[in-house]
Amino acid sequence: MNQAVQVLLEECEITDTARVMKQYPHELSGGMRQRIAIGMAVAGEASLIIADEPTTALDVVTQSEILQMLDRVVTTRSTALLFITHNLAVVSEFCDTVSVMYGGRIVEEGACRDVVRRPLHPYSVGLVGAIPAISGGKRELVGIPGDPPTLSDPERGCRFEPRCGLGHGVPVCREQVPSLDPVSEMGKVRHVRCHLIDREGDGETLHVAV
């Protein structure tokens, strides 16, 4: 058993495994604890690993190391990874596909590159607009006004409607829950939950139906 644990720790890029095996969690750094948690996740030979905010509260250097290690581990083991995070910058670099959720519902999903480069749902647009740019000229970061929905008493229609600059006050948005439907643009298909996206366009461009 000890040998199997040592192999897992080494796979998670932990040195001096004999000493680490005998330590308590409070004796380890945040990055070390995260590596061990990943080792525990892959120990069961699962076909799917769910990583919920695996780099939260880590400095950017350690975060990068953890992401690279996680990518290598799931690739070598042919394991699928469900990566849950609020950090769209990490998502854009690390994930193949992305599902954007708001109020407990998926509001947009598709290839990560397409969603990040050209978001369609108003909430996705707001999230991408709040990411600081490290190149180009200066631009003002625009936050999303209002408060998240109360899920014990959610909105009747679109849960983003009270905060949506595009659909706020539109009757259908306020009264009817939008469905998650396919939308085609430039030959690529993604799914968007929004009444204001015109799905009767030419398949090459998108039009907002207000």
pLDDT of 198:
66
Judge whether 24 lies within some domain: no
% of the chain surpassing 70 pLDDT: 92
Instruction: Please determine, for residue 108, whether its predicted confidence score (pLDDT) is greater than 50.
Output: yes
pLDDT band at 206 (very low <50, low <70, confident <90, very high): very low
Mean pLDDT of 47-69: 87
Residue 204 has pLDDT above 50, yes or no: no
- Any domain includes 4: no
Per-residue pLDDT at 7 exceeds 70: yes
Full domain range(s) for residue 122 = 118-210
User: What pLDDT sits at residue 102?
Assistant: 95
Q: Decide if 143 is inside a domain.
A: yes
pLDDT in tens, 133-173: 777 677 777 788 899 998 888 878 999 999 998 878 889 99
Burial class (CB in 10 A: 0-12, 13-18, 19+), 199: middle
Query: Across the chain, what does the average pLDDT equal?
Result: 85
In angstroms, the CA 70 to CA 54 distance is: 10
Place of tokens 């109020």: 103
- Is residue 185 in some structural domain? yes
Binned at pLDDT 50, 70 and 90, residue 203 comes out as very low
Taken in order 9, 10, 13, 14, is the CA torsion positive or negative? Answer: positive
Say what the pLDDT of residue 1 is: 57
So what's the pLDDT on residue 205?
41
Average pLDDT rounded to a whole number, residues 91-116: 92
**Tokens, residue 66:** 């953890």
Domain tally, the chain: 1
> How are beta strands 188-193 and 80-84 bridged, if at all?
unpaired
pLDDT for position 105: 94
Predicted local distance difference test score (pLDDT) of residue 110: 95
Backbone φ, ψ for residue 16 (5° rounding): 50, 55
Question: Does residue 182 belong to any structural domain of this protein?
Answer: yes
99 token code pair = 């599902």
Q: Is residue 47 part of a domain?
A: no
Asked if 172 and 161 touch (Cβ cutoff 8 Å), the reply is no
Instruction: Give residue 15's pLDDT.
Output: 84
Rounded CA-CA distance 119/112 in Å is: 10
**Predicted local distance difference test score (pLDDT) of residue 140:** 75
Residue 175 lies in a domain: yes
Question: Is residue 76 included in any domain, yes or no?
Answer: no
